[in-house]
Amino acid sequence: MTKSRYNLSGAFAKSKQLRMFFFKNKHLLETYDFTVYDGINNCPWNGGRINRDIHYTDDVIDFYYRNDISIALTFTNPIIDLEDSVGNELLEKFHNKSNYIISRNDELAEYVRREFPLYKHTRSITSFGDISVPMSDSDFDRYVELESRYDVIVPRCEHIFDERFPDLDIKKYELLINDTCIYNCPYYTEHFDAISLQNTLYTKPWEEGGHKCMHSVEECWIPTFNPNEGHAKTAEKFGENYGMDLSIAQIKRLEDMGVCNFKIAGREMTYEDFESSLRKYLS
């Protein structure tokens, strides 16, 4: 029987918390496969959130490898300079057949396949900007095309309970299970592009660009929406088919469909909120 794999955020940003969690819950290492992901070393290829001054350390890497925990680098910036020294140093450092590169830039993905062939490849959720709800033919065809090029695809949360989702190659999909974004956000692509741009413009964005500016870029752009709470009306409309902040019962449904890859976000969460997510889904 295939074990489910969980991809946990904050490989290095939350390394102390993750190591303590695994120490207290050693049985989980037998129950599931684990990957941990992060954007590190102020690399301009990073995306998903604005760079913090977070660096890898060998002792943390060794802990993950000793426990058969793979590492994923979040190279999800659409703007990529393939000659960037930091990005290439990280590719060299983590070049391992168990590790993943998460990307949305096709040129970068092809470069990594050619020069660093041991990596597995994940297509980022941030690459899916304009979508339809329910899933359109073009949405479906785009997923199918990506299946031929990527080991793992993180689909938009709005599609995971779509009636057409089971017709895809389910085992290739990694589902983000604790997102609380607004359904079909009108700023989805624009927001992630703006976040990534700060990592291109600045070596240390929060220092060079200013905390106030970076905060305004990174936080939700819809003033009436609280992403910590989600969207109650949409949740009520879709009921058990609501694809955000999944319940344990919903995850069981997805496992019964054949889904075996799940992702828990939380790099931006407080210690307590991240711990709550880990306990909710992994206890």
pLDDT digits (tens, 9 = 90+) for 178-208: 999 999 999 999 999 999 999 999 999 999 9
- How do residues 155-178 score in pLDDT, each as one tens digit? 999 999 999 999 999 999 999 999
Pairwise CA distance, residues 47 & 158, whole Å:
21
Q: What pLDDT, on the 0 to 100 scale, is given for residue 164? A: 98
Given a cut of 90, is residue 139 above it in pLDDT? yes
pLDDT of residue 35: 98
pTM over 0.95, yes/no = yes
Report the percent of the chain where pLDDT is more than 70: 100
Q: Which of 100, 92, 263, 259 is nearest to 166 (CA)?
A: 259
pLDDT digits (tens, 9 = 90+) for 75-99: 999 999 999 999 999 999 999 999 9
How many Å apart are CA 6 and CA 264, to the nearest integer? 7
Q: Is the dihedral of CA 257, 133, 280, 28 positive or negative?
A: positive
pLDDT at position 160 is 98
Give me the chain's average pLDDT, please. Answer: 97
Per cent of the chain over pLDDT 90 is 95
CB-hemisphere CA count at 13 Å for 167? 11
Residues 5-44: tens digit of each pLDDT = 999 999 999 999 999 999 999 999 999 999 999 999 999 9
Please report the pLDDT score of residue 80 as a whole number.
Answer: 98
At residue 283 the predicted structure's pLDDT band, cuts being 50, 70 and 90, is confident
Residue where the block lists tokens 């075996």: 260
**Average pLDDT of span 117-137:** 97
The Cα-based distances of 23 to 29, 47, 66, 139, 271 in angstroms read 10, 30, 13, 41, 17
For residue 1, is pLDDT > 70? no
**46 Ramachandran zone, left/alpha/beta (phi>0; psi -120 to 50):** beta
Give the pLDDT mean for 244-260. Answer: 97
